[in-house]
Amino acid sequence: MGTFLFAIFLLIIGYLFYSKFVEKIFGINDKTPTPAYSQTDGLDYVPMSWWKGSLIQLLNIAGLGPIFGAVMGALYGPIAFIWIVIGCIFAGAVHDYFSGMISLRHNGEQYPNIVGRYLGNTVRFFINVVSIILMVLVAAAFIAGPAQLISQLTPLSFIAAIALIFGYFLIAAVLPVNKIIGRIYPIFGGILIFMAIAIGVALLFTDKQIPNLTLTSFHPNELPIWPLLMVTISCGAISGFHSTQSPIIARTLKKESDGRKVFYGAMIAEGIITLIWAAAGMTFFGGTPGLQEALAAGGPSGVVNEISTSLLGTLGGILAILGVIILPITTGDTALRSSRMILAELLDKFLTNMSGKAKVLLVTSLVTVPTLYLATIDYSFLWRYVGWTNQVVATVMLWTGTMYLLKNSKFHWISGIPALFMTSVVCTYIFYAPEGFSLSYQISLRTGLSLTALVLIWYVKQIIVHKRPPSNHVKSKAS
């Protein structure tokens, strides 16, 4: 229990102190009008209070990630606590802050365009494709999961449940941000927080002991920690999906100082939620063997339902159903909204003669067709490919933040070191994972670290280039 409580304490300390350090390096100016005022359009650019923005941001970035991912990550034992704390404070929250604040500085631009500004057009094209694929995969996965549960609990068929959810997705994706998202999502964000706190408190008073980090409990899973843990627990530590969501709220901030509370703060809150569910997974079933059996029998949703109903009774069952149905839906619709916004910026040159509403409807339809098709195939298959693409997007965003800091002569290491770390994670993972090349662990590790070394060389060159004083091309006139 001591390790768990200390981990929560560290996350709170990280927000109170490290977030202010990051904010100071970025450099805020509340006198500069934010896009919510300078670009007001009544659709995406709408001023909202910071607390409402924080709850919406938390719901957008969370979904089932900090619950399902944490339960799966609990198989690695208490070492998961370390990754959540370090990843959240020094990588995930920094990633979220820069993805939101750099977007704000560029009139609420979407993630791919921000990448293009600081990493070049080649990377922008690559990340446009990857981001839209990620958004479509997330939206499809977050339709399929709730639809399966709805079909089990109601007379509706699976296809009818998909149609119902998808209809809501379309409405939420095209309506102004303050109509549905701004009014309902803060309530759902509050439910997510209440659910996690209730589970956390119940864990403290149960007769089961939350495991502490010791030499014997360090890693009970046979699978290698590196890099699998860093992909299994993404939401709650670092997730590239967040960088596609942050511009939604960046377009609503009233002042720049709200960014620390909204972007960094929401990530810390998600980290705490992830810690609670990871602890619940490690504790409730008497260790990793029991958790493995429970996951094999009922999957993550079955595990969450059993933990919730056992610890909280009828209330827990209601919260579990709300969580497993509402949370993915509210993340899926903003994924679809983000893909619409990204594609609109990508096709802007070709849609100049269209009205705003017609453009929104056309672009939304272009991303809905593949989303609807993918929602009908196996959920677990979809989720396997979400993991790696998600962390690739996160890595590119960290490098974007690093280049932003370098070009503005700021302390770039706060983003550069996490970027190198995540580069090694994704490079090793793709060679080792079944959905990748399925090579041996040793070969995957050597290949991943070799590619990371090449990226490090590029990074050092960038540091040298940006520290070099500008050359003087002014020639003296002949006397």
The pair of three-digit structure tokens given for residue 189, joined into one six-digit string: 């964000």
> Is 399 inside any structural domain?
no
pLDDT at position 378: 64
> Is 455 inside any structural domain?
no
> Is 451 inside any structural domain?
no
> Is 406 inside any structural domain?
no
Angle at 460 between CA 455 and CA 463, to 5 degrees: 125
pLDDT at position 475: 43
The pair of three-digit structure tokens given for residue 111, joined into one six-digit string: 């993630």
Using the Cα atoms of residue 335, residue 337, residue 341 and residue 347 in order, give the sign of their dihedral: positive
> Is 434 inside any structural domain?
no
pLDDT at position 479: 34
As a whole number of angstroms, the distance between CA 423 and CA 416 comes to 10
CATH number for the domain harbouring residue 134: 1.20.1740.10
Q: Which range marks the domain in which residue 278 is found?
A: 2-380
CB-based contacts of 153, cutoff 8 Å, min separation 6 = 321
Upstream peptide bond of 227 is cis (omega within 30 degrees of 0): yes
Instruction: Provide the whole-model pTM.
Output: 0.88
Residue of 452, 450, 467, 353 lying closest to 406 (CA atoms): 467
> Is 256 inside any structural domain?
yes
Do 283 and 211 meet the contact criterion of CB atoms below 8 Å apart? yes
- pLDDT by residue for the chain (479 residues), tens digit each? 789 999 999 999 999 999 999 999 999 999 999 999 999 888 889 999 999 999 889 988 887 778 888 998 999 989 999 999 999 999 999 999 999 999 999 999 988 899 999 999 899 888 888 888 888 887 777 777 677 777 777 788 888 888 888 787 777 767 777 777 777 878 878 877 888 888 899 898 888 888 888 766 666 667 788 999 999 899 889 999 899 889 989 999 999 999 999 999 999 999 999 999 999 999 999 888 899 899 888 778 778 888 888 888 887 777 766 766 777 777 777 777 777 777 877 777 777 667 666 777 777 777 777 877 787 776 566 666 778 889 999 999 999 999 999 999 999 999 999 999 999 999 999 999 988 899 999 999 999 999 999 999 999 999 999 887 655 544 444 33
Do 63 and 338 meet the contact criterion of CB atoms below 8 Å apart? no
> Is 249 inside any structural domain?
yes
State how many domains the chain has: 1
Query: Beta-carbon neighbour count of residue 347 at 10 Å?
Result: 15
How many residues are present in the chain? 479
Helix axes 2-13, 265-284, angle to 10 degrees: 170
> Is 159 inside any structural domain?
yes
Residue of 427, 431, 433 lying closest to 450 (CA atoms): 427
As a whole number of angstroms, the distance between CA 286 and CA 153 comes to 29
